[in-house]
Amino acid sequence: MSVALDRILHRALIGIALGGLAAGAILWARGDRTFAQCAWAAGSIPVALGLLVSIVRDLLAGRAGVDVIALLSMTGALLLGHNLAAIVVAVMYAGGTALEDFAVSRAERDLKALVDRAPRVAHRDNLGQIEDVPVAGIAVGDRLLVRAGEVVPVDGVLSDAEAMLDEAALSGEPIPVGKRRGEAIRSGAVNAGGTFSMEATAREGESTYASIVRMATAAQTAKSPTIRLADRFALLLLPVSLGLAGAAWLISGDPVRALAVMVAATPCPLILAAPVAYIAGVARAARQGVLMKGGAALEALAQTRTVIFDKTGTLTVGGARLIEIETAPGFSAAEALRLAASVEQASQHVVAAAIVAAARQRQLPIGAASDVREAMGSGVAGMVEGRQVRAGSHDFVFNSPPASVWSRRTLRRASLHSALTVFVAVDGAPAGAILLADALRREAPRAIQSLRASGVSRIIMVTGDRAETAEAIGAALDLDAVLSERDPADKVEAVAVEQGLQPTLMVGDGINDAPALAAAHVGAAMGARGASASSEAADVVILVDRLDRVSDAVDIARRTNGIAFQSMAAGMAMSGVAMIAAALGWLAPVEGALTQEAIDVAVILNALRALGSGRRRRRSSMAASDAEALRDEHRSVEKSLDRLGDTANALEDASASDGAAMIREANEIVADVIVVHEKADETLVYPRLRRSLASGYGLAAMSRVHRELLHLAHLLARLSDGLSEGDADSLLLRDGQRIIESIETIARIHNAQEEDIYEYAAAG
């Protein structure tokens, strides 16, 4: 029998069982108890027959499970006339089978979104004549034309002077990347600039994008579906039940005792506990905006000990965001942004959209632009309110390489923040520079903290972005490891390495994450606005655009898994007592059935606790001595903050040599005192403090300040690394002064807030 036919049969059986249960309940309520019993029997018999066929097939294949006991108990209940018990067993058995089918289907999910994105036709330059040919027909060395907005069909090298490519599908990075003549171009990237020519260096099947599709498919089919929880106990339960029934028959000489033992041994706690708890857990997760694809996904998520995050669109918002505006003399930041947005609104470029969105968010009056001219991938120019406005790269705006001190300082600051720079000029004079970068999600620190609190021991980030950008995010979130400049194959390899150590959860959102999501022990996709291919490849889909739902999902899964095991253990313990009582003749078959039904009801009610959030922990007061000790630590830190304040003031008029030494000294203070203190607070103090607070969400906000301080410390370390007297011009000293002042100010405010919390915690 084919797998597809099996699934159709399983769906039909659950429909029959549910229909029989509902019909019998209605008839019973109307007083037609005889017909109700018939309806329940009619709903049970097809399930029993289907179960019999399944058992025979399993036995022929050399497998055996608790299904044998389920069949015997269902048949025994029907023979005893206890049809309600039979239909309940039938419904739960058929429901569990349907849930198992859903888990198995994960290896067959449709990769339509991934495959459909691949181009079917390429434009080949044949001695000056452009002809459309199937991508499969492209040979190495063919000269191809890629038009604006098209997907690069195969791997190759750029033949034209320059090109602008959106590689989000490959690296996950939303900001387009500029390419120069002779540089490699990967298939799957989108042409974000003008039409360009390239030379193919690989055929379709050997190119980057085709390998992504193959990896996603192979990783999915390589992972076997989770074995049903009940079958793990089959080797113990089946022989024990049959042996006890046989012994009771042999000793008493009464076959009714054997029947009573089998009825009491019905594996309903095994059949019911896990599916009911998992369905309840899945339902609770859905209320939180988390889609878990069946009980297998939930069970796998509960075992997670390592979490791997993609960066862009997962830990970050996934797009260019305004982070700073550098202004030239005579212009305000608002005016520079307003004029840039006025000309950029005529462009369809992703960077232009980010600038316009930033201006609208600040409610700036965007003017109408005329005579707009755009150089694809370089910038845009036009007339705004009678003035010539240009916005784009430095070369485009000023028609020269960066020579002025202001331009060099702006580019250095952009490099420090790993930001993209859009220069703005008005009537040929510099007006400002807009710095754009991918911003960290606001809830990311809280999500990381919650995962650690739930028992996750290792959190790492893997990204296709540059090392500088990735390390800044890693420092801000205090991750255990950062893997940068990784392509989809490298991500799969990273997942494989971590899975060799402990169960691993992969969290991502882009097409390039699909292979890693499918390869992981459990994959979670940010599906609110992520690629559909990643959602298809994942076991868990976050339906709302919030990263902290990942930690919520882990908490729900662990609680649900615990309830499932608890229900099974308690149910089987009670069933064991009932089996012994039946073997001793203390329970007749009917009484055994009634006892087992009571056990089943208890198991179901306990399993349904997974629908709730659990009891809120009681708050315990912090000892006054502990609170005072924490305040003493702050007083010691205050001395270092005073030194940082003095350093920032002294930098105002410091010479190059003195200033360089001051920045290096400040970096040592921050690294040796501030960073150490904040990390100790996060790992040692906050877990203890959380027990003294009614909710941990207040501390989540404080943890975010820790991340910001760590981020600033990372920036100061980068600035002072290798700093010499010759590098320390006045602008660099100003940058160092800003960072030091920020660290001092934030740390002082943060300490004051923490002391308020200590006081509240000690008050009980």
The dihedral region occupied by 386, where left means phi > 0, alpha psi between -120 and 50, and beta the remainder, is: left
260 phi, psi to nearest 5 deg: -60, -40
CB 429, CB 397: distance < 8 Å: no
What number of other Cβ atoms are within 10 A of residue 129's Cβ? 7
User: What distances in angstroms separate CA 20 from CA 84, 88, 464, one per listed residue?
Assistant: 10, 10, 55
Residue in the block written with tokens 């040592």? 668
Tokens of 530: 């992520």
CB 538, CB 296: distance < 8 Å: no
Q: Is 310 a catalytic residue?
A: yes
Residue in the block written with tokens 């095994």? 270
Catalytic residue (choose from 67, 101, 155, 310) = 310
| 3-class DSSP string for 632-692 | HHHHHHHHHHHHHHHHHHHHHHCCHHHHHHHHHHHHHHHHHHHHHHHHHHHHHHHHHHHCC
15 phi, psi to nearest 5 deg: -65, -45
- Of the chain, the end-to-end C-alpha distance in Å amounts to 65
Q: How many helices and strands in the chain, by DSSP H and E?
A: 28, 22
Tokens of 473: 């995010």
Cα(477)–Cα(471) distance, integer angstroms:
10
Give the CB-side neighbour count of residue 481, counting CA atoms within 13 A: 12
User: What distances in angstroms separate CA 721 from CA 655, 661, 715, 724, one per listed residue?
Assistant: 19, 12, 10, 9
CB 576, CB 69: distance < 8 Å: no
Query: Which residues, 6 or more positions from 7, have their beta carbon under 8 angstroms from its beta carbon?
Result: 101, 105
Tokens of 70: 């389920």
Catalytic positions: 310
